[in-house]
A and B are shown apart, each in its own frame.
Chain A
Amino acid sequence: MNKVAIEDQVLTGVVEQYTDAPAPKVMVTASDVKPIDHSVQPAITTHSLGLMYGGKPAFEDVSLSIRHGSITAIVGPSGCGKTSFLMCMNRLTDLIPGCRVSGRVCIDQADVNSPATDVVTLRRRVGMIFQKPNPFPLSIRRNIELPLREYGVRGRQELGQIVQGVLEDVGLWDEVKDRLDTSALRLSGGQQQRLCIARALALKPRVVLFDEPCSALDPISSGVVEDLIAGLRGRYTVVIVTHNLAQAARLADWVGVFWVRGGSGRLIEFGTSRQVFKQPSDPLTYEYVNGCRG
């Protein structure tokens, strides 16, 4: 994306962010989603979203909206609910016993927590990459094919094309094309992480969530993965949680800062990357991004 386009996006984004639009009155469900005009509607919106683990709040009152095709970085110290925030987007919170979500998350205008939402469809549209690469103990090929088969892609040729396509997309094809049938666990950490990204992209998601995707990797692999994420800009809506402020500054169009206040995580700042790093509105953010704190 060129510079002008980014500026343009930034400006409209700012306006959109600060015009305090009222929440839609009608609950929208997955089944009655209309084709969306991507230039207007945000990809993800949250309304006073919060999450409790067994009565103890992890974060609360987070309201933001994320534009289609943008990269949004969520930064902040440990334990302020960044990962929990991500897990609300694809309802991975369902797997954690005793955790309760309050408020609303809408992806493409559909309420994620509505009873009408089909979790499988949701997770197919919202991919997630974890901190520690988690390829399954299967061959490289099977790792990508397993979810595809689950969604009814059966043709050998079609599967082969998708596998090659996504592996090329993550720059892994040339490295592994001769050993697609060997165990994915033999790949290096960085390769494993790229395989996981390929596996998620194979399902053609609209949103890809990254939970500190580089923190378990060495600097070189980390750089490769980071470039890969930058390459997703425009094609996917990316939300990335990171501890690495420099990474956030390099990657993100938008930055949200989480901080622990009153015993739970809060969103203390949300704006364009430039805003947050150059003219933050919250003094804490200023200290944080300038390395005086956190």
Chain B
Amino acid sequence: MLIWGLRACAAVAGSVVLLIVLFLVTESLPVLGHMGWSRFLTDASWHPAGDAAEGTFNLTPIVVGTLATTAGSVMIVVPLGLISAVFCCYYAPPVLARCYRRLIELLAGIPSVVYGFWGLVVLVPLVRRFEPPGPSLLAGVLILTVMILPTIALTAEAAMMNVPRAYLHGAAALGLSKRATLWGVVIPAAKSGVLTGVILGIGRAIGETMAILMVCGNIVQVPTSVFDPVRTLTANIALEMAYAMGDHRSALFVSGLVLMGLIMVLVIVAETISKRESHG
């Protein structure tokens, strides 16, 4: 009885994913059918219209926007998250470590629209002081950094906490210093856990919509500097869904499909890495 219940739950969870993908595909099909993939890469610009013949549908700058914001924030957040985890596990006095961990957990719980709000009134003016206009790739990168830091810091910390005590005792018995133990033993041992955290963080960064939409400026262009405004796939959907019709609407579903594809690639990468790790 129980086993059937569990099977039913698993079936529901699994089929929801399949249904969503199926839905994305069927909604994208009209535009893909009479336009094909190539126009999403080769059109002059993104000026969609309800009829495919009248609009232009180049998604490239938007994909670049998504990749740039994500890559930028990950590059900042990985060292930051690692340092934070190392500090928490090995250097901070226990009381401080506990307070710090609570704070990071709290950071993870802040709603994304609040992040966006903060970004809009603090980050954007700050960036503008360096170089106008303010809403920019840089602001997006920074806001994403703050948003995915908890994910990466907390998983990295959990991975470091799970490093077998036998390694630590072994390292101590060999007279290794704290630094050598950390770099030589703890971090290699925690590597796959840290990577999982990074992948989760990237997933969150790619999917983030609200905060990004509020600070990035949303101009469809391939950025030439970090101060240029950009638009991401998620922001694109959120901005245009409300009024899109016909082929335009369908093109937005193609954005969603691309987003889904990016995430899928990420999951596959994560799987391969963890498989290779477990084989030693």
Which A residues contact B (CB, under 8 angstroms)?
A: 90, 92, 94-95, 119-124, 127-128, 130, 132, 134, 136-138, 142, 146-147, 149-151, 183, 185-186, 196, 199-200, 203
Is the CB–CB distance between B180 and A146 below 8 Å? yes
Which B residues contact A (CB, under 8 angstroms)?
A: 164, 166-177, 180, 184-185, 188-189, 280
- Supposing A132-B166, A150-B180 touch, asked if A137 and B188 sit within 8 A by C-beta, the answer is yes
Is the CB–CB distance between B171 and A92 below 8 Å? no
Nearest neighbor of B184 in chain A, beta-carbon distance: A146
Give every chain A residue within 8 A of B172 (Cβ-Cβ). Answer: 92, 94-95, 123
Q: Which of B169, B176, B188 contacts A134 (CB 8 A)?
A: B169
Nearest neighbor of B168 in chain A, beta-carbon distance: A95
Give every chain B residue within 8 A of A147 (Cβ-Cβ). Answer: 174-176, 180
Give every chain A residue within 8 A of B168 (Cβ-Cβ). Answer: 95
Nearest neighbor of B174 in chain A, beta-carbon distance: A147
Is the CB–CB distance between B184 and A136 below 8 Å? yes
- Supposing A92-B169, A95-B168, A95-B169 touch, asked if A137 and B189 sit within 8 A by C-beta, the answer is yes
The 8 closest A-B pairs by CB, nearest first: A123-B175, A128-B173, A134-B166, A134-B170, A183-B280, A120-B175, A147-B174, A124-B175
Give every chain A residue within 8 A of B175 (Cβ-Cβ). Answer: 119-124, 147, 150-151, 203
Is the CB–CB distance between B185 and A127 below 8 Å? no
Having A122-B175, A147-B176, one finds 12 other A-B pairs with CB under 8 Å, namely A94-B172, A123-B174, A127-B174, A134-B166, A134-B170, A136-B185, A136-B188, A137-B188, A137-B189, A146-B176, A146-B184, A200-B173
Q: A122–B170 Cα gap in the complex (Å)?
A: 14
Give every chain B residue within 8 A of A95 (Cβ-Cβ). Answer: 168-169, 172
Give every chain B residue within 8 A of A199 (Cβ-Cβ). Answer: 174
Q: What are 26 of the A-B contact pairs (CB < 8 Å)?
A: A90-B173, A92-B169, A95-B168, A95-B169, A120-B175, A121-B175, A122-B175, A127-B173, A130-B169, A130-B170, A134-B164, A134-B166, A134-B169, A134-B170, A136-B188, A136-B189, A137-B167, A137-B188, A138-B188, A142-B184, A146-B174, A149-B180, A151-B175, A186-B280, A196-B170, A199-B174
Q: A146–B173 Cα gap in the complex (Å)?
A: 13
Give every chain A residue within 8 A of B176 (Cβ-Cβ). Answer: 146-147, 150
Nearest neighbor of A145 in chain B, beta-carbon distance: B184
- Supposing A137-B188, A138-B184, A138-B188 touch, asked if A200 and B166 sit within 8 A by C-beta, the answer is no
Q: A146–B174 Cα gap in the complex (Å)?
A: 10
Q: A184–B176 Cα gap in the complex (Å)?
A: 19
Give every chain B residue within 8 A of A123 (Cβ-Cβ). Answer: 172-175
Q: A122–B167 Cα gap in the complex (Å)?
A: 19
Is the CB–CB distance between B166 and A130 below 8 Å? yes
Most buried by A among B166, B168, B170, B172: B170
Is the CB–CB distance between B173 and A136 below 8 Å? no
Q: A95–B165 Cα gap in the complex (Å)?
A: 10
- Supposing A120-B177, A147-B176, A150-B177 touch, asked if A136 and B171 sit within 8 A by C-beta, the answer is yes
A84 to chain B, nearest CB (A): 13
Q: A186–B171 Cα gap in the complex (Å)?
A: 20
Q: A137–B189 Cα gap in the complex (Å)?
A: 6
Give every chain B residue within 8 A of A142 (Cβ-Cβ). Answer: 184
Q: A137–B166 Cα gap in the complex (Å)?
A: 12
B180 to chain A, nearest CB (A): 5
Q: A196–B168 Cα gap in the complex (Å)?
A: 14
Nearest neighbor of B185 in chain A, beta-carbon distance: A136
Q: A273–B166 Cα gap in the complex (Å)?
A: 31
Give every chain B residue within 8 A of A138 (Cβ-Cβ). Answer: 184-185, 188
A38 to chain B, nearest CB (A): 23
A274 to chain B, nearest CB (A): 32
Q: A132–B164 Cα gap in the complex (Å)?
A: 12
